[in-house]
Amino acid sequence: MHGLPTNLEEALLGLVREKLFEGGAPLTVETDLFAAGLDSMGIMQLMISIEERFGVRVPESAVTRDNFSTASSLAAMVRRCAAPA
């Protein structure tokens, strides 16, 4: 898992804020991103941004509501994607 930041949850939250949500949105690592307005386009954009920022490949099977529901669950998914097979 080389290359992933130590505080991956916060890094992902920063990415979510930067790419998808208005700057003042009150988001935490446990905020329900779907309740906050995450939609089809946002999920796709987030998936591509994660791949580009963290150098991991997110397989289609990993793009689920559970994995994309919070920054915490995203972090767990990214760690799994980065782990050696």
Which residues bind to other proteins, rule: CB under 8 A? Answer: 20-22, 24-25, 34, 36-45, 47-48, 60, 63-65, 68
CB of 64 to other proteins, least distance (A): 5
- Alpha-carbon span 43 to 27, nearest angstrom: 16
Pick 35 or 85: Cβ nearer other proteins: 35
Q: Which of 58, 85, 52, 74 is nearest to 8 (CA)?
A: 74
Cβ nearer to other proteins, comparing 41 with 83: 41
| Residue linked to tokens 């782990």 | 83
CA distance 54 to 20: 17
| 5 versus 37: smaller Cβ distance to other proteins | 37
